Amino acid sequence: MSEHTITVAGVAVDTRHWIGGERVASTQTFPDVSPIDGSTIGEISRGTAMEAAAAVAAAKAAFPAWAATSRAQRARILHAIADGVEKRIEELAIVETTDNGALLRSHRRGVMPRVAHNFRFFADWLLQLDHEDFDTRGHTNHVSWDPAGPCVLITPWNAPLMLATWKVAPALAAGNTVVLKPAEWSPLTASLLADIAAEAGLPAGVLNLVQGYGSEIGDALTSHPDVRRISFTGSVPTAKRIAASAAAHLTPLSLELGGKSPLLVFADADLDLAVDLAVEQYDNAGQVCLAGTRLLVEESVAEEFTRRFVEKASGLKQGDPRDEATDIGPNIHPRQLEKIDGFVRRALAAGARAVIGGHRGDGQYYAPTLLTDVAQDSEIVQEEVFGPVLTLQTFTDEETAVRLANGTRFGLAATVFTGDPERAERVTARLVAGTVWVNCFFVRDLQAPFGGSRLSGVGREGGTWSFDFYCDVKNTVTAPKGWKDHG
């Protein structure tokens, strides 16, 4: 076994970058620590501007041939990657659970199958991507999607492989080459993806992987003149730095950022359903961008809703995410845990009341928390915590409900529970959000547009919207006359 290979729960993982079809080591490393027990999993190659430049150069060199590859062949390779993922679901699941602390059962049953689906969906969508020709005064308009060039994809730590492939799959399907920069807190499954892609026949340089700290390699990637698209999922402050860096070359951006999403419960709602799905907001230890962390409940049912919520949430089991019985695992990193605890301590000091939780557990675990008696303009209501912390406010009418729901700088998602379809239509029409769920939660179809409003993001991806972003969309207008006789 190579000195650059670590073993994670019996799975061999290469700790080096993947550039131009080869493993590349850095002179320095950074530790990858498991949030389950704080143990160091291994030392990971720590990229610099040199590795970033090499990865972009490799992507640029590979781009002409990959862009010229037929749609059918690109689709075949993407399906082969999906096959490789499906063969290694168990390995990918245990490595990612060890790396980021999310539930093993979720990785096995939902997340890793979704990774494979990401590749299959965009492979199939590529083959049906079309726009019907249309006429302008006898002239024919033909719309086409041309590959844009090398893409830099910067992905988060909360669902590392799924969110990486949500970007990688459409970028590759579109005929682009990719430089993937995974989050330094959870880099391991991205390395396994590089192996799977190579085994599936993806040409060298089409997918490149650079690991390391964003502060050290981010600008080298996002300001590079040869990069033609940047897609980022993460925090608003980091997005602002990326946007400033990309501005020098007007590189198009797709940004999926923070959320402070409302979950509205009207008095005529199915309270059992509303409570069940409200408790689901603790999924992944609250580290879900779409989570409805602000519970807004009609005053007349607030007491009953809270009673049922506390009863349901109190039954959640927090512990080792590798245990099938566990409902909530650890938070990703000591810094994140400190951030979560700081938010809650300041809220309590300002007069909030913890109905449940409100404190740390052992290790990197934070108790599922529900805070009431919070003001709309308070930090805990306005800022993204990204942990198992929910707030509860009440309202007396639709107008107040909508005002509270829209009363932050964010606009990623919203959830509405009501038994009145007319009310659902009225309220959802006024909510500022990229996705709204009515009497359901987290129903996601890859053909639907996905993105945020306000500070929650820029742009939309999914289905044809992904190809619109990852391509240069061209319209060719042809005159009805002027052809020479070639007979």
94-131 burial, b at 16+ Cβ within 10 Å, e below that, comes to bbbbbbbbbbbbbbbeebbbbbbbbbbbbbebbeebee
- Per DSSP, what are the bridge partners of residue 136? 139
Structure tokens at 112: 């890793």
Q: Which residue intervals of 358-457 are DSSP H helices? A: 379-382, 398-405, 421-430
The catalytic residue among 91, 151, 289, 471 is 289
Structure tokens at 422: 């007319």
Sequence-ordered list of residues with C-beta below 8 angstroms from that of 203, at least 6 positions apart, any chain: 21, 62, 65, 66
- Reply yes or no on whether 289 is catalytic: yes
Nearest to 246 by CA among 266, 225, 265: 225
The catalytic residue among 91, 184, 256, 461 is 256
**CA 126 to centroid of chain Cα atoms:** 21
- Reply yes or no on whether 151 is catalytic: no
- Residues 408 and 260 sit within 8 Å (Cβ to Cβ): yes
Distance of CA 180 to CAs 74, 191, 194, Å? 19, 10, 10
Q: Tokens 């249309």 label which residue?
A: 134
Distance of CA 277 to CAs 91, 258, 271, 321, 446, Å? 30, 21, 10, 21, 22
Distance of CA 477 to CAs 18, 48, 134, 137, 140, Å? 42, 46, 10, 11, 5
Amino acid at 168: V
The Cα–Cα gap between 68 and 3 comes to 38
The Cα–Cα gap between 408 and 454 comes to 9
Amino acid at 254: S
Q: Which residue intervals of 232-282 are DSSP H helices? A: 236-246, 271-279
138-166 burial, b at 16+ Cβ within 10 Å, e below that, comes to eeeeeeebebbbbbbbbbbbbbbbbbbbb
- Residues 264 and 413 sit within 8 Å (Cβ to Cβ): no
Structure tokens at 114: 């979704």
Helices (H) and strands (E) in the chain, counts: 16, 24
Which residues are catalytically annotated? 256, 289
